[in-house]
């Protein structure tokens, strides 16, 4: 479909939503399962396209593996295939082949992996010939670029004959995702140490186990947006837990003064509309970059001034998310301006939804879902809405359950 016309007749919502499984947890569980020769019992596997792609490619005998636009799949498979020593070519969409992978390739090469670039140095597609012999057990890698590189290396570390000592240099970004990886490895029997900026994992086997994948807190963030932008709202989100491994669970604390309260139940949370207390807020998204777009839209629509830091990684996602936000927020009179070069950005302005804006999605699932809740303020158009299949395939159906009126145009 080309576009969806979205509105809500009352802006009053009461709903119960069954969220999809976390693709972050799922993709890690799938790699670990493969490292046990598929002996684990993994339940609640995500239906997100990224996870479906990961699961399929891990079991594929094809010489060329196409990850489509799944960055996590590309990065996790690069280490996994290097460990397995099978000759494989990893490729993806045009945008995927513009996303850098040099730091990970250099790290793997430093311990003996044979990896060749097939086009431009530093970018996919890549040909992997594997680690014939581990030449070192030490890797030094920047901690501020992508935690996916670090997680990719960590998951193969126990299977490497010499184990791995990983030194993270500089600031460590997206730390919760690194901790998620380590905790999930521990759930499958792996011992490790993380002291200062050094992570050490000795050679040891994974222990096949049962693992139930939690629902997706990134997906939950869009429902926080719905509640924040509604006149009245009470929404129960099923499948989330209080002590989550997911960094995006930070949304709970962030939204306390932005109009949404959270009540924990046994296997769900209940969101309720409250008074928006903060009209000026600063958030460091270093540990939760995937919810930056959502918060930017919420604050813009509710006339709150938001200063964003820790968002440089957004430039190398499915699209340049900072540029995409600038373009689309401008359509409703909101500016996203760089206030400190490459460090800080500010959302400000009074939104104007008097006309029917049409929001581009830039082949980015998070752009579509971040802007859709604006339909609570005024009818909006979302272009190329099918992008949500990457992480939340049932998103539009779930909006209908919450009373949104959605029409293909």
Q: What is the 3-state secondary structure (H, E, C) of 368-382?
A: HHHHHHHHHCCCEEE
Q: Which of 218, 248, 246 is nearest to 365 (CA)?
A: 218
Distance separating alpha carbons of residues 326 and 292, to the nearest angstrom: 13
CB hemisphere CA count around 151 (13 angstroms): 31
For residue 124, give the 3-state DSSP assignment: coil
Catalytic residue among 66, 287, 290, 398: 290
Distance separating alpha carbons of residues 22 and 43, to the nearest angstrom: 12
Determine whether 290 is an active site residue: yes
Residue 4 burial by CB count (10 A; 0-12/13-18/19+): exposed, middle or buried? buried
Distances, alpha carbon 82 to alpha carbons 28, 141, 188, 242, 381, in Å: 17, 17, 21, 36, 44
Distance separating alpha carbons of residues 372 and 368, to the nearest angstrom: 6
β-bridge pairing 305-309 and 344-348: antiparallel
Distance separating alpha carbons of residues 196 and 393, to the nearest angstrom: 39
Distance separating alpha carbons of residues 37 and 208, to the nearest angstrom: 9
Cβ atoms of 180 and 245 closer than 8 Å: yes
DSSP structure string for 23-59: HHHHHHHHHHHHHTTS-SEEES---SHHHHHHHHHHT
Q: What six digits make up the tokens of 153? A: 């290396």
Element (H, E) at 89: strand 88-91
Distance separating alpha carbons of residues 175 and 166, to the nearest angstrom: 14
Distance separating alpha carbons of residues 223 and 373, to the nearest angstrom: 8
Distance separating alpha carbons of residues 208 and 263, to the nearest angstrom: 34
Residues with a known catalytic role: 290
């Amino acid at each position: 479909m080309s576009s969806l016309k979205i509105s809500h007749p009352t802006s009053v919502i009461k709903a119960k939503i069954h969220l999809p499984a976390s693709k972050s947890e799922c993709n890690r569980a799938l790699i670990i399962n493969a490292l046990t020769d598929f002996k684990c019992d993994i339940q609640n596997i995500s239906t997100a396209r990224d996870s479906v792609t990961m699961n399929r490619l891990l079991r594929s005998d094809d010489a060329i593996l196409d990850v489509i636009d799944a960055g996590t799949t590309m990065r996790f498979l690069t280490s996994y295939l290097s460990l397995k020593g099978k000759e494989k070519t990893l490729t993806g969409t045009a945008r995927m082949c513009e996303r850098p992978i040099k730091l990970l390739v250099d790290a793997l090469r430093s311990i003996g992996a044979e990896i060749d670039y097939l086009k431009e140095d530093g970018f996919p597609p890549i040909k992997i010939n594997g680690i014939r012999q581990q030449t070192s057990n030490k890797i030094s890698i920047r901690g501020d670029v992508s935690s996916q590189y670090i997680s990719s290396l960590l998951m193969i570390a126990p299977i490497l004959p010499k184990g791995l000592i990983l030194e993270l240099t500089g600031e460590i970004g997206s730390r919760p995702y690194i901790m998620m990886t380590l905790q999930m490895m521990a759930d499958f029997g792996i011992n490790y140490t993380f002291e200062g900026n050094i992570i050490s994992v000795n050679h040891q086997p994974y222990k096949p186990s049962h693992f139930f994948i939690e629902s997706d807190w990134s997906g939950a963030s869009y429902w926080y947006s719905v509640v924040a932008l509604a006149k009245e709202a009470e929404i129960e989100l099923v499948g989330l837990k209080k002590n989550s491994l997911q960094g995006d669970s930070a949304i709970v604390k962030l939204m306390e003064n932005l109009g949404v309260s959270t009540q924990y139940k046994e296997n769900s949370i209940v969101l309720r509309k409250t008074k928006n207390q903060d009209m000026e807020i600063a958030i460091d998204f270093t540990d939760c970059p995937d919810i930056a777009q959502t918060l930017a839209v919420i604050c813009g629509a509710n006339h709150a001034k938001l200063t964003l830091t820790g968002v440089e990684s957004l430039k190398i996602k499915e699209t340049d998310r900072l540029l995409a936000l600038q373009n689309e927020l401008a359509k409703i009179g909101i500016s996203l301006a760089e206030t400190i070069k490459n460090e800080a950005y500010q959302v400000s302005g009074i939104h104007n939804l008097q006309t029917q804006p049409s929001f581009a999605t830039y082949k980015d699932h998070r752009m579509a879902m971040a802007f859709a809740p604006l339909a609570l303020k005024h009818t909006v158009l979302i272009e190329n809405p099918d992008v949500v299949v990457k992480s939340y395939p049932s998103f539009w159906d779930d909006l209908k359950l919450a009373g949104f009126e959605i029409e293909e145009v």
